[in-house]
Structure 1
C-alpha cells in the first residue's frame, strides 16, 4: 500500500468511529461536520474494502474487519501522538488534577490505600475519586467513554478499546479464629469440609469461593455454608470468636487478621490464583499526567 496516496486523517476518523459508534458524535470529536464525517466513512470503506460499521438499532456496530483493525490503528496513532507531542513538563509534585478510578472490593481494600499513600507523598495536588464496580460491564463502558481513568480488580471484562496490564497475582487462604488454631496451623481436607463455612457472596466480588466449590464438586464433595455475608470485610470479623472457617484472598485476609483476631492457614486444596488487573484507555499516550498516574498504580502493584 502506498502511504503517500493515503490521507492518514482517515485513521483518526476510524478511531473516533470505533470510540463513539455514531457518525455525528465521531465528527464532533475530531472537528468534522456530519457530511464530512460521512464522506470519511465512505473513503474508509473503499480503503479497506469492507463496510467497517453497520447501522443497527443500537447504533453503528463494527464489523469483524473493523474490530481486527482497532488495536493496530489505535497503537499506531498513539505512537504518532507521543512522537509529535511537545514536552508537557508534567511535574507530579506541583500538578493539579483529578483522577477517577473504579475498583472492586478487592481493589478498594488492597490497592487503593497504597495508591493514596503514594499520591499524598509524590503528588499532593492530584485528587482521587474512587467509584465501586457494581456492574463490570457498566464500568467498562464508563472507561471507554472517558468517565473514569482506570479500572482495578480481578475478573474484569475488557474490550478492543481498552488496554489491560496485570498488576499481580492473588491466591487463596483459609482463616479461623486465632484462639482455635493449634501450634501447627494446618487444616486437612477432611477437617476443612467438616467445619461450617462463612461465605462472601456479593456479585462480582474478587476471591469468590466458587473456585473452591468447583474443585470439591470434581471430587463429589460439598462444604456447608453456615453464614453468607454481603461484604468481604465482614468475613474475618464473623469468623473471629466462632468455629467458622472461611476462604479468602490472601492479601485481604492478611490486612484484617490482627485487628479481627483470626489466623491465616493454607488452603488444603490446590486452587488456582487469579490476576488483579489495571484496565485503561489509550489516552495515556497523549496525556502525561494520566501516563504518570497509571505508572504509579503499576508501582503500587509491584510493591504489594
Structure 2
C-alpha cells in the first residue's frame, strides 16, 4: 500500500469506530454525519481487504485485523497531535478544553474543591472529568489518551511516563469521641485491641498491616471498604477505628465527632505523585493544569 495515496483521515474514523464500536457514536465523536462515517468504513474495508467491524447482535465487534491495528494507529494519531500542539500558546481564560484525571476519592476531596474554585476564576471554560484510580498506575489509559493525568501513590512508574512529587502524607488513627477503650494517648496495646475498619482501595495488604506482620503482630479488621469518604462517617457512629491519611482525617475531624491519634509506631511518610505521558511535556495546556494542581497543594501546605 502506498502511504502517499492513502487518505489519513480514514485512520481517525477507524480510531473512533474502534473506541465507540458504534457508527452513530463515532460520527458524534468526529462531528461528522452517520453516512459519512459509514462511507469511510466501506472505503477502509476495501483498502485493507477486511470487514474490520462486523455486527454481532446489536453491537459491532472488531475483527482480529482491526484489533491488531488499534494500538499502532492510536499511538500514531496521538504522536501527530502532540507534535502539532507542542509549544502552542494556551490561554486558560478562553479555553474550553476538557481534561480527564484519575484520582482516589481522598485526592478528589482534598484537591478538587479548591482547584475548581480557582479554575472558576482563571479558566471558567475548562472542564474536568474524574475517573476512579485503582492501586496500580493506569498505564494503558494514559498511553491511549483516555486520561490525561493520574494523581496518587504509585510504587513503580515506567520510564515512558513523567512523575512529579505532589504531596507527602502521613497516617493517623481516627476514633469517635468518647470511645470506650481510649483514655488519653493511644499505645500499641490499645491499638491492637481495637476493632478496625480498613480502606483497602483495591490493595491486598496496606502499610499498617505490613508493618504489623513484619513485627509478628496483627490487628482485628472487621470491616473493609474501598471508600475513604464513607469510612470517617462509619467510625464517627461506631466503635470502629480507621487509619486515614492525615489530611483527610483532619478534614473530617472538623465535620464529625472524631478524635485523632498518631500511630503508635513509625511508618514515616508516603508520597503522592502526578503522572503523565512523557511525550506530552511540551503540551502547553496539560503543563498549565499540572502547574495549577501543584500550586493548590503548595497553598494547602502553607495553610496547615
Aligned residues of 1:209 and 1:247 also touching (Cα < 8 A): no
Q: Equivalent residue of 1:279, what SS?
A: strand
Instruction: Give the aligned partner of residue 114 of structure 1.
Output: 114
Confirm or deny that 1:200 pairs with 2:196: no
| Residues 27-70 of structure 1, C-alpha deviations (whole Å, 9 max, x = no match) | xxxxxxxxxxxxxxxxxxxxxxxxxxxxxxx99xxxxxxxxxxx
Shift of 1:258: 2.7
CA distance in 2, matches of 1:196, 1:235: 13
Shift of 1:246: 1.5
Shift of 1:150: 0.6
Instruction: Give the aligned partner of residue 218 of structure 2.
Output: 222
Confirm or deny that 1:275 pairs with 2:271: yes
The verdict on how the C-alpha distance between 1:219 and 1:159 changes in structure 2, with shifts beyond 3 A counting, is: closer
Instruction: Give the aligned partner of residue 53 of structure 1.
Output: none
Instruction: Give the aligned partner of residue 164 of structure 1.
Output: 163
Unaligned runs of 5+ in 1: 1-57, 60-73
CA distance in 2, matches of 1:262, 1:245: 10
Instruction: Give the aligned partner of residue 259 of structure 2.
Output: 263
| Residues 258-297 of structure 1, C-alpha deviations (whole Å, 9 max, x = no match) | 3232111111110131111100123444322222111111
1:70-219 → structure 2 map (5 Å cutoff): 85=87, 88-134=88-134, 136-137=136-137, 139-155=138-154, 157-180=156-179, 185-204=184-203, 210-219=206-215
The verdict on how the C-alpha distance between 1:278 and 1:261 changes in structure 2, with shifts beyond 3 A counting, is: same
Shift of 1:170: 0.7
| Residues 65-93 of structure 1, C-alpha deviations (whole Å, 9 max, x = no match) | xxxxxxxxx9xx99xx96xx4xx443222
- In the TM superposition, structure 1's runs of 4+ consecutive aligned residues that sit over 4 Å from their partners are 181-185
CA distance in 1, matches of 2:143, 2:171: 31
Q: CA RMSD in A?
A: 3.3
Aligned residues of 2:199 and 2:228 also touching (Cα < 8 A): yes
Shift of 1:194: 1.4
| Residues 215-241 of structure 1, C-alpha deviations (whole Å, 9 max, x = no match) | 222332211112222322121111113
Aligned residues of 2:135 and 2:154 also touching (Cα < 8 A): no
The verdict on how the C-alpha distance between 1:229 and 1:183 changes in structure 2, with shifts beyond 3 A counting, is: closer
CA distance in 1, matches of 2:102, 2:201: 17
CA distance in 1, matches of 2:181, 2:299: 32
The verdict on how the C-alpha distance between 1:265 and 1:169 changes in structure 2, with shifts beyond 3 A counting, is: same
CA distance in 2, matches of 1:250, 1:152: 17
Shift of 1:132: 1.0
What TM-score does the superposition give when structure 1 sets the normalisation length? 0.65
| Residues 132-189 of structure 1, C-alpha deviations (whole Å, 9 max, x = no match) | 124735x211111222111111126422221000101111000110233999852011
Confirm or deny that 1:238 pairs with 2:238: no
The verdict on how the C-alpha distance between 1:225 and 1:135 changes in structure 2, with shifts beyond 3 A counting, is: closer
| Residues 87-112 of structure 1, C-alpha deviations (whole Å, 9 max, x = no match) | x4432222221111111233222222
Confirm or deny that 1:299 pairs with 2:298: no
How many residue pairs get aligned? The number is 226
The verdict on how the C-alpha distance between 1:253 and 1:112 changes in structure 2, with shifts beyond 3 A counting, is: same
What TM-score does the superposition give when structure 2 sets the normalisation length? 0.65
Shift of 1:126: 0.5
Q: Equivalent residue of 2:228, what SS?
A: coil
Shift of 1:128: 0.8
CA distance in 1, matches of 2:223, 2:281: 47
Q: Equivalent residue of 2:100, what SS?
A: strand
